[in-house]
């Protein structure tokens, strides 16, 4: 039986969903994969819970009752003391700061599986240093969920690149939240601000919807794909159309934005009125390998196209290659949500396990 010992950082929606999925799939993984996934340490930004045996369905209560303030060194000392094999640090946070720990974790014997996309969108210098450290220590870094949640976008792109298939262009709807917003806005006769409020209530947007509307998250995803193909780009080089008016942007409070978000309605209504009968608005990311340009913007799409026919909060990625010509490979499905993201992380853990010794 191959055992993987997971130290989970992040107990929010994704981290919590991952624990439940591992608990549910435990017996199946043992029987079908010969794999046992153990989670001896669970931590958020301030508190850690250490458990020598498998986590239980009551882990949340145990975490609150028996968790204590910690430093990263406490975790490193504990796993060293327990002599755990096949250590994996799972980053289910969205923290800029936690990524500072990656190099230390790798040097201390951890593989990394990350839903957090920050490490792959930092400077090229950090990006290369991390990969150099991984190679030097013979460790793996998996991050399929960085772009399409549970969709195999990075894996598909990497397979094309490794087989020397020339990828010429990528375009798609990268954001599940913005997909839902524009799908609904174009289908229904409602004000943009009303649709935005509904998306927030359903949990599709960040607590501050301006994070989604800024397009920066889509810009990060686009940069990750570009770097997978060898583009030497920085995040500030991605051209991003910010959908938040200057008087409502980050320099003003969230409370001010919520009070005045109806200011968005007129501009978006005008865009909608300019559409032809067979068109819809979509929030699109585009990467052109010939020019090296990465762009995030609003686009008018035919209703019958892959992007125009999207429903609910689905994402769609079109990958154009030399062999496929003008007929792209299309990867389409749920591109957001805690459950699908956690499932993608679990899939990465299983893939990682296949690479590790028994």
Report DSSP letters for 234-282, one per residue.
-GGGSEE---S-GGGSTTS-HHHHHHHGGGGHHHHHHHHHTS-TTEEEE
Query: Per the annotation, where are the binding residues for NADP(+)?
Result: 10-15
- Please state, as a whole number, how many other Cβ atoms lie within 10 Å of the Cβ of residue 97: 9
| Sequence-ordered list of residues with C-beta below 8 angstroms from that of 269, at least 6 positions apart, any chain | 191, 192
Side-chain-side CA neighbours of 225 within 13 Å: the count stands at 35
Query: Per the annotation, where are the binding residues for L-homoserine?
Result: 206
Q: Is 139 noted as a catalytic residue in this protein?
A: no
Angle separating helix axes 216-228 and 153-162, nearest 10 degrees: 30
Instruction: Give SS3 for 136.
Output: helix
Query: Per the annotation, where are the binding residues?
Result: 10-15, 93, 117, 206
221, 233, 262, 303: which is the annotated catalytic residue?
221
| Sequence-ordered list of residues with C-beta below 8 angstroms from that of 355, at least 6 positions apart, any chain | 140
Query: Per the annotation, where are the binding residues for NADPH?
Result: 93, 117
Task: List, by residue number, the catalytic residues.
Answer: 221
């Amino acid at each position: 039986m191959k055992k993987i010992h997971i130290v989970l950082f992040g107990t929010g929606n994704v981290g919590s969903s991952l624990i439940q999925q591992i608990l549910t799939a435990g017996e199946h993984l043992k029987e079908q994969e010969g794999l046992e996934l153990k989670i001896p340490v669970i931590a958020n930004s301030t508190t850690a819970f250490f458990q020598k045996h498998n986590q239980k369905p009551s882990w949340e209560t145990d975490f609150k009752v028996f968790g204590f303030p910690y430093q990263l060194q406490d975790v490193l000392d504990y796993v060293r003391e327990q002599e755990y094999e096949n250590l994996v640090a799972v980053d289910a946070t969205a923290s800029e700061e936690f990524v500072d720990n990656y190099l230390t974790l790798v040097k201390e014997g951890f593989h990394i599986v990350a839903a957090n996309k920050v490490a792959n969108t930092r400077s090229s210098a950090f990006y290369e240093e991390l990969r150099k450290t991984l190679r030097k220590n013979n460790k793996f870094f998996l991050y399929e969920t960085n772009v399409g949640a549970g969709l195999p976008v990075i894996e598909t792109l990497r397979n094309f690149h490794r087989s020397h298939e020339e990828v010429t262009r990528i375009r798609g709807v990268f954001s599940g939240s913005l997909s839902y917003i524009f799908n609904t806005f174009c289908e229904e006769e409602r004000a943009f601000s009303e649709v935005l409020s509904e998306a927030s209530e359903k949990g599709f947007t960040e607590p501050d919807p301006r994070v989604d509307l800024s397009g920066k998250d889509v810009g990060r995803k686009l940069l990750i794909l570009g770097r997978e193909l060898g583009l030497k780009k920085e995040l500030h080089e991605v051209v991003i159309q910010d959908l938040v008016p200057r008087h409502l942007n980050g320099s003003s409070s969230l409370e001010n934005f919520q009070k005045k978000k109806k200011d968005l309605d007129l501009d978006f209504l005008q865009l909608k009125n300019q559409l032809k009968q067979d068109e819809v608005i979509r929030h699109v990311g585009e990467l052109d390998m010939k020019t090296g340009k990465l762009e995030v913007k609003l686009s008018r799409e035919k209703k019958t196209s892959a992007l125009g026919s999207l429903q609910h909060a689905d994402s769609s990625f079109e990958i154009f290659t030399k062999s496929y010509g003008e007929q792209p490979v299309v990867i389409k499905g749920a591109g957001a949500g805690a459950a699908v993201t956690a499932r993608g992380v679990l899939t990465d853990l299983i893939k990682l396990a296949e690479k590790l010794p028994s």
